[in-house]
Amino acid sequence: MILELSFYSITLFATAALMSLVALYVWKRRSVPGGTYFALLMAASAEWAFAGALEYAAADVSTEIMFARLTYVGAMAILPLWLLFILDYSNPGRRISWKLNTLLWTLPATLVALVFTNDYHGLIWSSIVQVNTETGYILIYNKGIAFWAILLYSIAVVVPGLALLIRKAIGGSKDNRYLTVTVLTGSVFIALSSIVSEFGQSALRGTDITPFAFAIIGLAVSWGIYRYHIFELMPVATEKLVENMADGILVLNLQEEIVKVNSAARQMLGITDTAIGHKVEKAVAVWPHLARHITYSGRRSFEVTIGPKWIEASVSGLQDKKDRTIGTLIVLRDVTEQKQAQEALRLSEARYKTMVETASEGICILDKEDRVAFINKKASDLTGFTPEEACGRSAYDFIGSEYHEALRKNLALKRLGITEQYDYRLNCKDGNSVWVIASASPLYDEKGEFMATLAMLTDITDRKYADEQLKISLKEKEALLKEVHHRVKNNLQIITSLLNLQSTGMDDPKYTGMIRDSQNRIKSMALVHEQLYKSRDLSNIDIAEYLNSLINNISRSYNQASGRVTLRTDIETINVDIDRAVPIGIIVTELVSNAYKYAFPEAREGEIWVELRRDGGKIMLTISDNGVGLPEGLEIGKTGTLGLQLVEMLTQQIDGELEIGKGERTEFKITINH
């Protein structure tokens, strides 16, 4: 195959290259309205121009005719693509049906088939005439019957397309108006150039200038792409934004067919891009509740469950600048976490309400002005006031007037964050009263400022009554016990007096000494009962006060007013019970009495020491003297005297230990567990 390049053929080659670049550039931005069809339109124009360039560069007749047939592939594709581009561009969101596509493409495909089989029927070209010229030759293609079908088809496609373009040019934005006017002007220019090429004067016959018209419109659109970013900035940005939105987006045309679905919607609904072009009702058929709401006309919002997810859907119409509905926008938002949080909050509130209303304690909330803001069922049962009756009333209305000042101080402490418990007497609706322990805590808002007081009210009416009864009973028993101690002391005093009468007239010192010892022992016991009778605490006795009184009585009984024997005491204040006080008193009585009787014979002077102190968990009682000392070989357990036998016996009775020391002092040391 030999080609002879000319200015005309080179220009067509350049035109084909230019339109190929435009087609490629627009194809990358084909997601915008009209983008796909315009890219294909430019590709078909490029094929037409390229085949035309080869036709005019062919050096022989058969090659030229072959390339002439190839120009019809691009030329016949241009017509339906041009109309499809205008339909898609003028009505964004409206899907072009397969029926219209079939109708538009059937005749062009048939005509292309007739072109390649023209040698058998001559329907496209009745004859091809070679006309020799000074520079070579040209081929004249005489039109057949089918050629007029091409003309009629072109008119059927061009006229509606021009009408749509004119309407778009009137109502479009500045950027879109530029593209619309450019395409409209180019379309008119292409139509005129086709008429001139087919029906013009002989000087132009055999030369088709239509590809140049497409080149001009391609350049104009290219300038629009560069200058106004047609098919580029905003559509691409919008596409990116919509695709990456967390909300699901579906766009439907007027036939309720899906024309756009973003990634979030695909994930929510479990569909793919293959759903585009199908009825939305069919695409989401597995979710009939959603489909029913979507296909119901009108603007609305609703919630549906899709599997385990809660979806909040918003459906609204899409309008053009003339407020004509061109489709439907559906926004899907996954509100599962929000719903779960709401459900968790509802359950929490239900649990809280159940706990509060079934609590065994009354619960009360006071506002900043100390008015009742809330009481639970238990608090209502305690007072007899319903929540409606109690709320809004001052807290002071519910307590006795004698507690108003205490309540005022306590509530002030709550504002400072100090939490304590207090007893109050609540006034009931029926005029009675109940006793409660109020345990209150301050409540703060999110800024840390005092907001209210929460009080827990525990009914202690029965306990208060029991306490009062117990106090009364205790007072009665204390009075009775004091009377017992008083009578025991009096009886012991009587015994002492009887012994004193018995000793009157006795001359034998042995017997008078025995009576005096008995009197001292009785007095030690009587003194304990006297101390308890005078004491507020009937269970314990101050051992220091008791022993000091006891020792003074012993000293007087042995007529020590002369001061020959000095009695020294160092007794720590310790409380002991009566079971220990009586034995300790008798032990001290016996040992001090023995010291007076035996340690200082023949008017000898000396000292007696009585010491009692606490040492850890023990009581140390020490009685010593600096008299003549104990007889040699004396053993306490084997002595025949009653006094020392009592000391040993009583020491064991109070779980004590007795130690006897001999030296400068005779010392009796008793250790008692306390």
pLDDT in tens, 216-244: 665 565 555 555 545 544 455 566 677 77
Return the amino acid letter for 10.
Answer: I
Q: Work out the pLDDT band at 202, boundaries 50, 70, 90.
A: very low
Return the amino acid letter for 589.
Answer: T
The 10 Å Cβ neighbour count of residue 2 is 8
Label residues 615-626 b or e (16+ Cβ within 10 Å = b).
eeeebbbbbbbb
Tokens of 217: 């419109």
pLDDT for residue 607:
92
pLDDT for residue 203:
39
What is d(CA 575, CA 542) in angstroms, rounded to the nearest whole number? 5
Tokens of 315: 């459906």
Tokens of 457: 């009210």
Q: Work out the pLDDT band at 204, boundaries 50, 70, 90.
A: very low
Residues of the chain within CATH 3.30.565.10 domain(s) are 467-673
The 10 Å Cβ neighbour count of residue 606 is 15
Q: Work out the pLDDT band at 201, boundaries 50, 70, 90.
A: very low
471-to-423, 464, 467, 541 alpha-carbon distances in Å: 18, 10, 6, 21
Question: Does 48 or 528 have the greater pLDDT score?
Answer: 48
Return the amino acid letter for 549.
Answer: S
pLDDT for residue 139:
81
Return the amino acid letter for 596.
Answer: Y
Nearest one of 587, 590, 593, 636 to 612, comparing CA atoms: 587
Stated as kind and residue range, the H or E segment containing 332 is: strand 325-334
pTM summary value: 0.40
The class (CATH top level) of 7-235 is mainly alpha
Tokens of 71: 């120009």
Q: Work out the pLDDT band at 611, boundaries 50, 70, 90.
A: very high
The class (CATH top level) of 359-459 is alpha beta
What is d(CA 586, CA 582) in angstroms, rounded to the nearest whole number? 6
The 10 Å Cβ neighbour count of residue 55 is 21
Stated as kind and residue range, the H or E segment containing 141 is: strand 136-143
Question: Does 357 or 608 have the greater pLDDT score?
Answer: 608
Nearest one of 141, 157, 162 to 72, comparing CA atoms: 141
The 10 Å Cβ neighbour count of residue 309 is 15
pLDDT for residue 623:
92
pLDDT for residue 185:
62
Residues of the chain within CATH 3.30.450.20 domain(s) are 245-340, 359-459
Residues of the chain within CATH 1.20.1070 domain(s) are 7-235
184-to-16, 82, 151, 176 alpha-carbon distances in Å: 21, 11, 19, 12
DSSP-based three-state secondary structure for 492: helix
In CATH, the architecture of 467-673 is: 2-Layer Sandwich (3.30)
User: Is the CATH number of domain 245-340 2.60.120.10?
Assistant: no
pLDDT in tens, 138-182: 888 888 888 888 888 888 887 787 777 677 656 544 545 555 566
What is d(CA 224, CA 197) in angstroms, rounded to the nearest whole number? 28
